[in-house]
Chains A and B, each alone.
Chain A
Amino acid sequence: MLQTPIADAAQICLRVRGLTVAYAEEPALQGISLDIPRHQVTAFIGPSGCGKTTLLRSFNRMNELIEDARTEGVIELEGCNIFQAGVDPAQLRRQVGMVFQRPNPFPKSIYDNVAYGLRIQSSSSRAANLDQEVESALRRAALWDEVADRLDAPALTLSGGQQQRLVIARAIAVKPAVLLLDEPASALDPISTLKIEQLIHQLKSNYTIIIVTHNMQQAARVSDFTAFLNAGRLVEYGPAEAVFTNPKERQTEDYITGRRG
């Protein structure tokens, strides 16, 4: 079942076809097919364990790192199958950045965290304007004002909300095309959550953003398109207002009105 709310094929950034992922022969995703529009925010919602994270991690091939994970199907990034031979996962991940559910800054300074992705690319020309790039990433992540005077402080001294914005800054410093956010606000207080949501709004113009969230209001607030997954299957996918105000599927309605889950 292919659901695509996007009429214009030129707008498609990621195209997923028949994606099946299994952990140790236990399927976590089954036959997912969907299109993700460029420079829009797409939200994945669904009950715990339905496969949202798995789907997200498929976009940057992070599932490969799990020993017994098997993936079938096709994901095309700007028309190019990311699973085909010759695609270097490291290169792919520079294009598809990811922010994890739990903030995971490196045990290094704030500056070194943001500069990490740039440094490992090891082109010497980058070193010259590293300071600028770090600053601009921190500014775009709305963290600059809070940390400008203590860039050398350990990142682990930041608060949870600041850490989450730091790892977003770290991810966007390498200028990916796609940004994957896995429940970026699940562990945060309302004010930090608000900041992250504002941030997503700002980033939208430059990045294709996919966000996983548990929070219906949040999904409704930040996303342009929403996909509802359940038990490893894509149940419904469409423009956010449509999914939230007028869900086509019974399961979706039950879930968003809280009758299930």
Chain B
Amino acid sequence: MRASLNIATLPRRRRWIDFLTRAVMALGAAAVAAVIVLMLAFLVQVAAPLFLPAAIAPSTELSLPAGHAKLLRVHPSGDAALRVDADGRISIFALSDGAQLQSRWLDATVVAAKPVFLANDLHAVLDSAQQLWLLQTVQRGGARRPSPELNILFGGRPIPVGAVIDYDLAQQADGTLKLALLSPTALQVRRLPAPFTTVAPSGGAQSHTLEDGAERVLFGPGGRWLFTLGGTGATVWSIAPRVGLQPFANTPLPGALPLHSATPLLGRQSLLIAGDGGVAQWSLSRAGGRPHLALVRTFPLAAAPRTMVAERQRKGFVVLDETHNLHLGHATSGRILAHRKGTVGMDAALALSPQADLLLALEPSGKLHRIPLLNAHPEVSWATLFSKVQYESYEEPAHIWQSAAAHTDFEPKFSLAPLLFGTLKAAFYAMLFAAPVAVMGAIYTACFMAPGMRRWVKPTIEMMAALPTVVLGFLAGLWLAPLIEANLAATAALFLLVPGGMLLFAGLWRRLGENFRKRCEGWQGLLAVAPMVGLAAAAIHLAPTIESAWFGGDLKAWLFAVHGIDYEQRNALVVGLAMGVAVIPLIFAIAEDAIHAVPPHLADASLALGATRWQTVTRVILLTASPGIFSALMIGLGRAVGETMIVLMATGNTPITDFSIFQGMRTLAANIAVELPESEVGGTHYRLLYLTALLLFAMTFAFNTAGDLVRERLRMRFGSL
């Protein structure tokens, strides 16, 4: 009988196991890839709207009573608008259907009407009888339909103001008002009591003569400044209580005179002034010591601007030009974001909803255009993210990250440069400390250490990788940082004395008897602990002496006095040490494996040719292990770049771009951790944080990929396996 050869099929069981293993492996790989792709897709999906182009949508029209509107303003609730007509009619209408909700008549015709600065719902109307009426619109809660109330404050009585060219009002934090009145010969500031009282307005007044022919007066930031415009230019006035009303230098406004129109931007650090070629942004600047208005940037337009309206929560604005075109712009990002060709009459009054997602344009005929604006993230452009930007009240363009401030009218500063810089700085200092220690430790452990000692050392160091970084960060921030600050000289001495001293000991070691040296072969690392501790103790002991001898008793003060080096307690040194400790086990473990994996027959070949141990290590083993050592460093770097807890706790998280080892930084990862909880979901800041997450992802991905590519090349050249 002859056994038949079965080479066609595998036994069922083996086939089944084969299939199962392959399926499980494929599934695992696919799941990992899918998770990464999903994560990326999620980040992209959240961040992408930042770069959607803005648009002015087609309008829908409503018919309202005809009349020349002096003021059109959407109520904070967003569903009704206040309209003050030249003929003295004041009305409130619903935005949904144009239905009139409230209406009153003043006895005289209206000359001008404007909102009160820093108040939500106050408006000041100047009539032809030279009196000022203060209007308040109050939204009663709970109603399904908008039901605003229209009150005339100060007991329904107007305030006589005399012959004025222009006026402005600002409400102070205590509710009182400041009233600025511009007459042809003088500028006057009056204080009015809080408007809800029935007390007849009276109060102190300051005034200053004026002869430059100014036509407009505007309160500046916080109501503490005044701007007058027109005539020969622009003047900034101080109205500080003690100094009184004081003019600073007069700035000419090239291209903007005679004055057509001017609109303050949110916060009133800046004014938009219409000129011949478009709109210019002028900001209050203190450069050179004297506050003045300085030209920040211009927004060129093809046709002369006619009417402008500024957003109420951002530094954006809308311009209507003489060819009936609408332009949507944003000051900080320096761009006109969107245009729309002539649908709106030139004489229309403009108003923006509080969220700036709806533009109202009311023509004298009574035709109301309701124009949706798609402009969620005007602050963000590649230029604002990565180039220097001229921010309000800064002397020059700068890279700044400042996403929130105490007051709501500040200018968000979204430059990613300081965060990228901080990330790289932290990683640099960490690697500066970790890379030599880890790689040299790996070389010693793999090539020179006695196997008996290596069996203990390697797992111990690898165990360090399991140390939670929050513990490291906590120790670094709360223990190490103050310790180093208090003992800066000792720290410096440690860094110099210990490595230097160890070299000295290594020299002495060679003079010891050969027999003794042979017996300690491989255990020198352990023996080195004693001199190391001794040197450290010596460094700490000597530091105060050195400090008082050469550095005037205080190294920190000396650094500042002599070299101008500022010392921040939580600085790059602390971060470098703490993060170094976090990445050392990682780099060590991978590098040690790579070195240890170099085939012994290569070392044998080298030794058999008469090379010393050291020559063998440097010329053969490290060379062969270089791909592995390189990828160890890259993985360490990737880890340092993405590390969060340590930088979060051990730096001051100040987003500055200063490479000094004694200054802190803010990294991308720490920034996300700090700011994400307090950012409004779906807002610009929130999406921007996701963008930084994407950036972080891209960075670590780039480091890892670059590491892999270089390692592949090295492996092709030096790999022997």
Contact = CB atoms under 8 A, between A and B. Distances in A.
Contacts of B602: 104, 106-107
B520 to A, nearest CB: 15
A117 B623 CA distance: 16
A40 interface: no
Question: Which of A67, A107, A156 has the largest count of B CB atoms less than 10 A from its CB?
Answer: A107
A165 B708 CA distance: 34
Given A100-B601, A120-B619, A107 B624 contact: yes
Given A85-B514, A106-B620, A116 B720 contact: no
Nearest to A117: B609
Interface residues on B, range: 20 to 34
B608 A116 contact: no
A98 interface: yes
Given A65-B604, A100-B601, A107-B720, A90 B624 contact: no
Nearest to B514: A85
Nearest to A155: B720
Interface stretch (B54-62, B98-106, B610-618, B669-677): B610-618
Given A100-B604, A167-B605, A174 B610 contact: yes
A106 B611 contact: no
Contacts of A120: 606, 609-612, 615, 619
A202 interface: no
B609 A93 contact: yes
Nearest to A113: B605
A97 B619 contact: no
B604 A104 contact: yes
A173 to B, nearest CB: 9
B717 interface: yes
A38 to B, nearest CB: 20
A237 B623 CA distance: 43
A91 B611 CA distance: 9
A90 B611 contact: yes
B604 A156 contact: no
Given A102-B601, A106-B620, A93 B717 contact: no
A94 interface: yes
Nearest to A95: B610
Contact of B609 (A67, A107, A116): A116
A227 B453 CA distance: 41
Interface in B577-631: 599, 601-602, 604-612, 615, 619-620, 623-624
B717 A154 contact: yes
B718 interface: yes
Contact of B451 (A62, A67, A91, A106): A67
Contacts of B607: 62, 65, 89-90, 93
A60 B623 contact: no
Nearest to A67: B451
B719 interface: yes
Contacts of A174: 609-610
A143 to B, nearest CB: 17
A132 interface: no
A97 B606 CA distance: 11
B608 A156 contact: no
A90 B604 CA distance: 12
Nearest to A64: B607
B522 to A, nearest CB: 9
A116 B604 contact: no
A21 interface: no
B717 A121 contact: no
A163 to B, nearest CB: 11
A238 to B, nearest CB: 29
B263 to A, nearest CB: 72
Given A104-B602, A104-B605, A116-B619, A121 B610 contact: yes
Interface in A117-157: 117, 120-121, 154, 156
A170 interface: yes
Given A91-B610, A93-B609, A93-B610, A108 B623 contact: yes
B717 A97 contact: no
B158 to A, nearest CB: 94
A171 interface: yes
Nearest to B612: A90
A102 B451 CA distance: 25
Contacts of B717: 107, 154
A107 B623 contact: yes
Nearest to A68: B451
21 contacts: A60-B608, A62-B604, A67-B451, A90-B607, A90-B610, A93-B608, A93-B609, A93-B610, A97-B609, A98-B608, A100-B608, A104-B601, A104-B604, A104-B605, A106-B623, A107-B623, A107-B624, A107-B717, A116-B606, A116-B611, A156-B720
Give the 10 A-B CB pairs with smallest separation, nearest first. Answer: A94-B610, A117-B609, A98-B608, A104-B601, A107-B718, A93-B610, A107-B720, A104-B605, A120-B611, A120-B615
Interface of A: 60, 62, 65, 67, 85, 89-91, 93-94, 97-98, 100, 102, 104-108, 116-117, 120-121, 154, 156, 167, 170-171, 174
Given A97-B609, A100-B604, A170-B605, 17 more contacts: A65-B607, A67-B451, A90-B612, A93-B607, A93-B609, A93-B610, A94-B610, A97-B608, A98-B608, A104-B601, A104-B602, A106-B605, A106-B620, A107-B602, A116-B609, A120-B612, A120-B619
